[in-house]
Amino acid sequence: MSDVSQDNDNERGKLFGGDFDIKRVLLEGRAFFALIAIIVIFSILSPVYFSTSNFLTMSSHVAIFGLLSLGMLLVILTGGIDLSVGSTLGLAGVFAGFLMQGVSFEILGVVFYPPVWVVVILTCGLGALVGAINGVLIAYFKVPAFVATLGLLYVARGVALLMTDGLTFNNLGGSPELGNTGFDWLGFNRLLGIPVGVLILAAVAIVGILLLARTPFGRWVYSTGGNARAAELSGVPVKRVQVLVYVISGICAAIAGLVLSSQLTSAGPTAGTTYELTAIAGVVIGGAALTGGRGNVRGTLLGAFVIGFLSDGLVIIGVSSYWQTVFTGAVIILAVLLNSIQYSGQKKQKASSDGKTTSPQPEGATGRSPASGSTAGKAGTQS
């Protein structure tokens, strides 16, 4: 008899598909349409908005949030959250600035000036370390992701402040005699007229797309967020996946830190404060579910561009920064609202076709800590 109910489901699927085609396209492509709308509106309001140079400038701002959002996307896909990325960004910038000043080994009586590529590797390593601490706390010590990364948010920021005594490194240029020039190639300079930061974002995005769509790891990420218990029983190394996504998020934050300090030609310990929230907003606007398992790189990039182009547009037309904050918040709420509509639509379809389906409820995502779902799953695997 299973075939009968199956036929019914199919017909129902077609029916919904037929009726809601336009709505569906609008809903699923909402970040894209929102971006188009933002560009059109600001182009009308300001003559300088619609120009290649302005788009490139805005894109180099987007690069920072985009990099954070891409790392955040992986974490959110597993059902976690990473609140520490803003602080990691700041710490990475300060650490890079510190290395650029030269590291003195007092015992040997020498000052070592690492070349920029070494600085990049060490800084990314630091980001990975922060991520690894997050991941191990969450996967192996069962600390809720929200709490663990909140802790690291404070710790990383504190360390950054300690390292500089609250001051900012302004001398990042290096000198040819010391062989450590080229820091400005991490974000400040342009290649073929395109800011290097944007190119880095593009490169990371391509790696992200391949990683999620074409590697076993990508499939593991989606399955861990969709149902960690089922993934584990299917042989997915759930804990390793959890640690790795935080490591990747940490590395992304470190890259963003390098790009930002290169763009600003200075590295301050308070850089990136509250950027973690913008990064989360980008992921959410891009259609990812905070409960995990749904989302993609394309959407997240669009989400980052929506936020970046909106806030820069508001600056250009001279809206006060207080109003900018209000607008950004409204956009985020709208995005989450549309997410709920999209996923609850899917849920209803499911529910009507199979009364016993227990699907993750996206409405709950806003109400409870996103971490709770995954920790419940983890706790369950122990029994």
**What is the binding site for other proteins (CB under 8 A)?**
1-6, 8-13, 15, 210, 214-216, 219-220, 222-223, 225-227, 229-237, 289, 292-294, 346-347, 349-350, 352-360, 380-383
CB of 380 to other proteins, least distance (A): 8
DSSP-assigned letters across all residues of 47-101: TTTSSHHHHHHHHHHHHHHHHHHHHHHHHHHTT---TTHHHHHHHHHHHHHHHHT
CB of 358 to other proteins, least distance (A): 5
29: Cβ contacts below 8 Å, ≥ 6 apart? none
| C-beta of 37 vs 213, nearer to other proteins | 213
| C-beta of 118 vs 210, nearer to other proteins | 210
| C-beta of 253 vs 289, nearer to other proteins | 289
Q: Are 365 and 289 in contact (CB under 8 A)?
A: yes
| C-beta of 9 vs 184, nearer to other proteins | 9
| C-beta of 226 vs 308, nearer to other proteins | 226
| C-beta of 102 vs 345, nearer to other proteins | 345
Q: Which two tokens stand for residue 19?
A: 């009726």
**How many other C-beta atoms can be found within 10 angstroms of the C-beta atom of residue 39?**
18
Please state, in angstroms and as integers, the Cα–Cα distance from residue 242 to each residue in 136, 222, 225, 230, following that order.
8, 11, 9, 15
Q: At what angle do helices 21-28 and 321-353 cross, to 10 degrees?
A: 130
The DSSP code for 236 is -
Q: List the one residue out of 270, 272, 258, 263 whose CA is nearest residue 119.
A: 258
Q: CA 200, CA 202: separation in Å to the nearest integer?
A: 5
